[in-house]
Amino acid sequence: MLVWKDENVRYLTSLRAQLIAGKTTSLNGALLTADDDPVLLGSGGEIDKARFGMSWIGEAHAVPIMEQRELVDGFVSDILIPLLQTRGLTTGRLAVDQANISFIDSMRAHLPDLELVDGDTVMQQARWVKTDLEVAVIEEACAIGDSVTQRALDETRAGRRELDVAADAMQTLFQLGGEMAHVITPFVATGEHMSPPHRLATDKIIRNQDLCFIDIGAMWNGYFADIGRTTIVGKPSREQQDIYTAVYQGLMAGLDAMRPGNTNQDCADAIIGKIAEHGLEDHLFSLFIGHGIGMGANEPPYIGETLPGATLYEFEPNMVFAVEPLVWVPNVRGGGGVRLEDMVLITEGDPHLLSRVEYEERLLV
């Protein structure tokens, strides 16, 4: 198996690499065979660290940024083929999680008897159910994510900008040892920027009566926490309270359905059914309602996916999800968009809530 996605490389090698914007899947890779330790295929900037500080890596090779056709072809002919030859793997099947067309063309030209097959699905399935150690790491990521969210809530007030709040939250993230936010573009959206949702922070000034949504989260030791809360500046309107209450009750209904033997569809139905009791089912955001999470910020299985190919899964102990219903109603003064997002661990019994940030009592009726 040959992997290039950041989360898969880290999952197999524990490499914490420098990430360059827009170059994911192009910087580092790993080759895994049945009988050997993973071979790290690292950016030149990572190789010295790997060779001198990662004793569990038996073999490491520098590779180019995997985008220029000539460099990609040179990697295949001069680096990858010798690695495969020494392992007797120049024929048969090689699973690859993700690759550009120039890599695929080069592989077909140099290794016509080697079939490329889907490796990403295999890696997704390997990561679905977490080990107890992984759960402990995610718990710590949630502790940081809770603190990041709380800092943002504490700094949300009239006269500040969305970017001010995001900056305060990111300071807390790095102070507490977080590696990055759950989203590359921190999500702080206030007032009319939540109806419809603008999923980033801008220089919009926060005003009295604005609903304010925070979704920044945290990554720690390679694992993500995805936590979101909505608050209010000043006194909410009854319509804002009604929307928040519908989302809160929908979230609680969904969490209660997250037990072994139930499915992702059971959870989605519980959320949508409860929100429908408030007459707001047609105002749900046009996105899935929840997703798996771990080394991938968003990963299968998904909850409430409606696009073609949506798949039914049963919940299993030690699966971890972020559940995030969002309802937005247009033409509400101060905004009519509310999302609440929690991290949930599937157990043998009741679901275990990993996130602990309080909900906004002023918005509940």
Give the C-alpha separation, 12 to 36, whole Å. Answer: 12
Say yes or no: 114 and 244 in one domain.
Answer: no
Residue 18, pLDDT score: 87
Q: Please state the φ and ψ torsions of residue 153, each to the nearest 5 degrees.
A: -60, -40
> Among 105, 127, 149, where does a domain finish?
127
- Distance from first CA to last CA of the chain, Å, rounded? 53
Q: Give the domain extent around 32.
A: 2-127
SS3 of 60-124: the string is: EEEECCCCCHHHHHHHHHHHHHHHHHHCCCCCEEEEECCCCHHHHHHHHHHCCCEEEEECHHHHH
Q: Which residues of the chain have pLDDT under 70?
A: none
How many structural domains compose the chain?
2
Q: Please state the φ and ψ torsions of residue 219, each to the nearest 5 degrees.
A: -115, 135
Task: Note the helical H segments in 111-205.
Answer: 120-128, 132-154, 162-175
Say yes or no: 181 and 80 in one domain.
Answer: no
146 with 343: CB under 8 angstroms? Answer: no
Give the C-alpha separation, 160 to 126, whole Å. Answer: 44
Which residue from 197, 210, 283, 196 is spatially nearest to 243, judged by alpha carbons?
283
> Among 74, 96, 127, where does a domain finish?
127
Say yes or no: 230 and 318 in one domain.
Answer: yes
Give the C-alpha separation, 300 to 306, whole Å. Answer: 14
Q: What is this structure's pTM?
A: 0.95
Say yes or no: 98 and 118 in one domain.
Answer: yes
> Among 98, 127, 156, where does a domain finish?
127
171-187 pLDDT tens trace = 999 999 999 999 889 99
Residues 6+ apart with CB under 8 A from 97: 1, 2, 3, 4, 5, 8, 119, 120, 123
Say yes or no: 114 and 173 in one domain.
Answer: no
> How far are the Cα atoms of 2, 25, 164 from residue 99, in angstroms, in the given order?
10, 7, 38
59 with 50: CB under 8 angstroms? Answer: no
> How far are the Cα atoms of 25, 156, 200, 223, 231 from residue 189, in angstroms, in the given order?
30, 11, 7, 25, 11
Residue 350, pLDDT score: 97
Please report, for the domain that includes residue 233, its CATH number.
3.90.230.10
Residues 6+ apart with CB under 8 A from 295: 7, 8, 10, 11, 127, 222, 223, 224
Say yes or no: 43 and 165 in one domain.
Answer: no
Strand 59-63 and strand 39-43: the pairing is parallel
Say yes or no: 221 and 329 in one domain.
Answer: yes
